[in-house]
A and B are shown apart, each in its own frame.
Chain A
Amino acid sequence: MIEVKNISKSFNKNKVLKDVNVDFEPGKVSMVIGKSGSGKTVLLKSIIGLHKPEEGEIFFDGREFINANIKFKRQIREEIGMVFQGGALFTSLTVEDNVRFALDLFSNKTKAEKKKRVDFCLERVDMQGSNELFPAEISGGMQKRVSIARAIVLNPKYLFCDEPNSGLDPQTAIIIDKLIREITLEYNITTIVNTHDMNSVMEIADNIYFINDGQKWWNGGRDDIFHSDNIELNDFVFASELYKKIKDVSK
């Protein structure tokens, strides 16, 4: 479980996060939604320590993270898997080397065991047989899948995904969404997904957190969204004609 308590973060006097309180539960896909510039990426990066908040605390299963020393932070980070918006695969390494990277650094497995684990993870994301390809030789959707394989190779307790569907076609997006959900349930991972793709939200979200103007504006489940009278949330979620019609039907 990840507990975020009273987090605030500013950039050059511009307060991007304002006293945010959120709890993310294990075995569930928690989705953080909000407009571009609302502060959701800053929240994600603050949780994993890429930004240091001015105020507040973050606990990973009761372990305080923000003020921990760098050695302890690195220990916790070994339990974190992250899928970046652009994949962030190491371009000089093959697909197999990318997935094996963390194993080489942090596990005591033999070469054969590592190979078996890498093959398992690649198979899990339906990327078997692409071991020797370089990131530049595969499509964006494939890069995202390899990125997920890399994120799960050390059996993480926490999985963070920053806009995992951006730039993907709807079919590939659904494959990625389902993969994230399956992995979350399979390994009881605390999964946090940043997105503004409402299709993803409706597809896999267990808990939804709506961030607006740097604050947690609303939270609830998938069904709750249709019955909420929160104006900002409704403006965001039902911006498209399609979702307006869906809302009308659900009423």
Chain B
Amino acid sequence: MFTIVGKYLVLMGNVFTKPVRGSIFFKRVLDEIEQIGVDSLWIVAIVSVFMGAVLTLQVAINFEAPFIPKYLIGLSARDTMILEFSSTIICLILAGKVGSNIASEIGTMRITEQIDALEIMGVNSASYLILPKMIAALVTFPVLNVVSIILGIFGGYAVAVFTDTVMVYDYLYGLNYAFVPFYVTYSLIKICVFSVIITSVSSFCGYYTSGGALEVGKSSTKAVVYSIILILLFNLILTQVLLT
């Protein structure tokens, strides 16, 4: 365990060094923004709309009692999306999509000697490969978070419009009721931390792959599992620190 943490810290030490060429580095970051962020937009959008809709339906069904105000349906949909779904659950999904992609990409580069080729050329392979991914995730994940919140709330709104489980007026009133702006900040802080966890842990798993195709698959699985466990752990820690 200590060896793994030590190796991880040494790798991160190598990652955070000055890039060889600013222009190349900038281009790498843009490529990664497309691959990590833009390419994840569709899955985030689909999941958020449907989850927002289902969440609203389920809350509406459970708020049948006449003494519970109906606008709480909108409020609960909003707060659930902001506090937990659009940061934590979306990151668990992204750990599967982005994390496995990063681990298998870097792992394949390792076993096909592409990382050795970088090192032989005098390139700091850790920094060249991993830092752009981390920066791209730090830039795009908060955007995905905001998109997810908006689309999730829209999914709930669609339920209000197309079904009779909740009135549109009640839903909209609930959305505006007792809004705490800090919840958005809390959500953004969480997703920034999670983005670092997903990219760094997945890169670590890929970077130290040895063997063949089977080991690349194992690294990919490890990357997802470790990322998810760490996301859940840090979710607990950050919630305790920031909200209580």
Q: Which residues of A contact B (CB under 8 A)?
A: 48-50, 74-78, 80, 82, 84-86, 88-91, 101-102, 104-106, 160
The 8 Å CB contact of A80, one of B20, B112, B113, B120, is: B120
Q: Residue B117 contacts which of A74, A82, A105 (CB distance < 8 angstroms)?
A: A82
Given known A104-B24, A105-B20, A105-B21, contact A78–B121 (CB-CB < 8 A): yes
Asked whether B114 lies within 8 Å of A77 as measured between CB atoms, the reply is no
- A–B Cβ pairs within 8 angstroms, 19 of them: A74-B124, A76-B122, A77-B120, A77-B122, A78-B121, A82-B116, A82-B117, A85-B113, A88-B116, A90-B114, A90-B117, A101-B121, A104-B21, A104-B24, A105-B121, A106-B20, A106-B121, A106-B122, A160-B120
Question: Contact string, B103-132, partner A, CB cutoff 8 A, digits 1/0?
Answer: 000001000111011011111100000000
**Most interface-central of B113, B119, B120 (chain A CB within 10 A):** B120
Q: Is the CB of B116 within 8 A of A84?
A: yes
A225 CB → nearest B CB, Å: 30
Q: Is the CB of A86 within 8 A of B112?
A: yes
* With A82-B120, A88-B117 already in contact, 11 other A-B pairs whose C-beta atoms are closer than 8 Å: A50-B120, A74-B124, A77-B122, A80-B120, A80-B122, A85-B113, A86-B113, A90-B114, A90-B117, A91-B108, A104-B24
Q: How far is the CA of A77 from the CA of B122 in the complex (A)?
A: 5
| Cα–Cα distance between A160 and B123 once the two chains are bound (Å) | 17
Tell me the minimal C-beta distance from A63 to chain B in angstroms.
14
Contact among A50, A75, A89, A101 for B119, CB-based, below 8 A = A50
Q: Which residues on B sit within 8 Å (CB–CB) of A105?
A: 20-21, 24, 121, 123
Could you tell me if A84 and B123 are in contact, using CB atoms closer than 8 angstroms?
Answer: no
Seen from chain B, the residues whose Cβ lies within 8 Å of a Cβ on chain A are 20-21, 24, 108, 112-114, 116-117, 119-124
B121 and A84 contact, CB distance less than 8 A: no
Complex Cα gap A104–B128 (Å)? 13
In the bound complex, CA of A91 to CA of B104 (Å): 13
A48 to B24, CA, bound (A): 25
Task: Give the Cβ gap from B104 to chain A, nearest Cβ, in Å.
Answer: 12
Contact B112 A88 (CB under 8 A): yes
Q: Which of A74, A75, A84, A105 has the most CB of B within 10 A?
A: A105
Asked if B122 and A78 sit within 8 Å, CB to CB, the answer is yes
Contacts of B114 in A (CB 8 A): 88-91
With A85-B113, A91-B114: A102-B121 Cβ-Cβ less than 8 Å: yes
- What's the Cα separation between A82 and B29 when bound, in Å? 27
Cβ–Cβ contact A74 & B112, under 8 A: no
A88 contacts which chain B residues (CB < 8 A)?
A: 112-114, 116-117
Q: How far is the CB of B94 from chain A (nearest CB, A)?
A: 21
Residues of A contacting B124 in the complex (Cβ-Cβ under 8 angstroms): 74
C-alpha spacing A80/B121, complex, angstroms: 7
User: How far, in angstroms, from A104 to B120 measured CA to CA in the complex?
Assistant: 15
A114 to chain B, nearest CB (A): 13
- Measured in the bound complex, the distance between the Cα atoms of B121 and A128 in whole Å is 23
Task: List B contacts of A48 (CB < 8 A).
Answer: 120
Q: Nearest A residue to B116 by beta-carbon distance?
A: A50
Q: Which residues of A contact B120 (CB under 8 A)?
A: 48, 50, 77, 80, 82, 160
**With A104-B21, A105-B20 as contacts: A74 and B113 at CB distance below 8 Å:** no
- Could you say which of B112, B116, B119, B122 has the most chain A C-beta atoms within 10 Å of its C-beta? B122
Q: Which residue of A74, A90, A160 is within 8 Å of B122 (Cβ)?
A: A74
In the assembled complex, the CB of B213 is this many whole angstroms from the nearest CB of chain A, namely 13
Name the B residues within 8 Å of A76 (CB-CB): 122
- Chain A residues positioned under 8 Å from B117 (CB to CB): 82, 84, 88, 90
Residues of A within 8 A of B122 (CB): 74-78, 80, 106
Report the separation of the CA atoms of residues A35 and B117 in the bound assembly, to the nearest whole angstrom: 24
Measured between alpha carbons, how far is A75 from B121 in the docked complex, in Å?
Answer: 9
Chain B residues, Cβ within 8 Å of A86: 112-113
